[in-house]
Amino acid sequence: MDLQTILSKYPPQPQYLIEMLIDVDDATEQHYVSEDELRTIAAYVGVRDSQVYSVMSFYTMLSTTPRGKYVIQVCKDVPCYLNDDFNVLKTIQDELAIGIGDTTPDQLFSLELTACIGCCDEAPAMRVNHETYTNLSDEKVRSILESYRSGLL
């Protein structure tokens, strides 16, 4: 979906800013909102670039810098931690050889931490883009990553 199509879904009002930004982030392979897109959106809803940037920089789901095709977000909060016997984060870091906040050189994966995603009854959990994966085990994490890598997911 291109930017104009996204914008045309919403009335040109600042209250729809966050909705538009999420859509743009989703529609972009690299999951971010570019400077040009940001300026276009600001003009569309009639606010300043600074006001949009303020919003962009506040919410964790939004990014002003390019990310991987698949953004992995690992829950770091207590209920997941208590059930995370094998260490989800370490497994992913082993597999992808990147640190938190980094993107793999092939631009396929970015690794981030997330606040609780409400899957504490099936902890530990993580998200890849908008898919949620729960009851994670070492093998499960590796196989999920492999599926994305091979294009199965």
Partner 1 sequence: MIHCRINNIDVVAEEGTTILEAARKFNINIPTLCHYPDLHINSDCRICVVEIDGWRGLKTSCSTPIKDGMVIKTNSPKVLNARKTITELILSNHDANCTACVRNMSCELQGLAKLLGIDENRFENVLERRPLDLLNPSLARNPNRCIKCGRCVDVCASVQGMHVLERMGRGHNMDIAPAFFQPLDDTFCTFCGQCANVCPVGAITERDNTDQVWTKLHDPTKHVLVQIAPAVRVSIGEEVGYKKGLISNGKLVSAMKHLGFNHVYDTNFTADLTIMEEGTELIHRIQTGGVLPLMTSCCPGWINMAEQEYPEVLPHISSCKSPQQMFGALAKTYYADKIGMDPDDIFVVSVMPCTAKKYEATREEFKADGRNSDVDVVITTRELGKMFRQMGIDFDKIEEQDFDNPFGITTGAAALFGATGGVTEAALRTVYEIVNNKPLEDIVFKDVRGLKGIKEATVELGGQPIKVAVSHSLANARELMEDVVAGTSPYTFIEIMACPGGCIGGGGQPYGTDNKMREERIESTYIVDGNMVYRKSHDNPSIQALYKEYLEKPNSHLAHELLHTTYAARNL
Partner 2 sequence: MIERKELTKRFGVIDPLSIEDYINHDGYEMLKQAITMTPEAIREEVRLSRITGRGGAGFPTAIKMNSFAAEKGEKFIVCNADEGEPGNFKDRYLMEQDPHQIIEGMLISALATGATYGYIYIRGEYRKAIAIMKEAVTEARLYNMLGTHILGSSFTFDIEVRRGAGAYVCGEEFALIESLEGKAGRTRVKPPYPAQRGMFQHPTLINNVETFCNLPFILRIGGAEYAKIGSEYASGTKLISLSGNVRNKGLYEVPYGRTIREVIETLGGGTNTGRPIKMVQLGGACGAIIPDELLDMDIDNERFEMFDSKMGAGAIIVIDDSHDLFDIILRNMEFFAHESCGKCTPCREGHIQLVRLVRKFVDRVATMDDYISLKSLADVIHETTLCGLGQTSPTSILSTMEFFHEDYLDRIQNNKEVRP
> Residues interacting with partner 1, by CB under 8 A?
35, 38, 47-54, 57-58, 64
Residues 115/149/141/132 CA torsion (nearest 10 deg): 40
**Which residues lie below 8 Å from residue 29, measured CB to CB, with a gap of 6+?**
69
Strand partners, 109: 70
Kind plus residue range of the DSSP H or E element containing 111: strand 109-114
Stretch touching partner 2 by CB under 8 A, among 1-9, 50-58, 93-101, 102-110:
50-58
Q: Which does 79 bind (CB under 5 to 8 A by kind): partner 2, partner 1, none?
A: partner 2
Stretch touching partner 2 by CB under 8 A, among 1-9, 12-20, 30-38, 86-94:
12-20
Q: Which does 83 bind (CB under 5 to 8 A by kind): partner 1, partner 2, none?
A: partner 2
Closest approach, Cβ 76 to partner 2, in A, equals 7
- H-helix segments, the chain: 3-8, 17-27, 35-45, 49-58, 78-83, 88-96, 138-149
Among positions 7, 17, 71, 136, the unique one binding partner 2 when judged by CB under 8 A: 17
Kind plus residue range of the DSSP H or E element containing 46: none
When asked if residue 123 is in the footprint of partner 2 (CB under 8 A), the reply is yes
What residues between 86 and 115 interact with partner 2 by CB under 8 A? 114-115
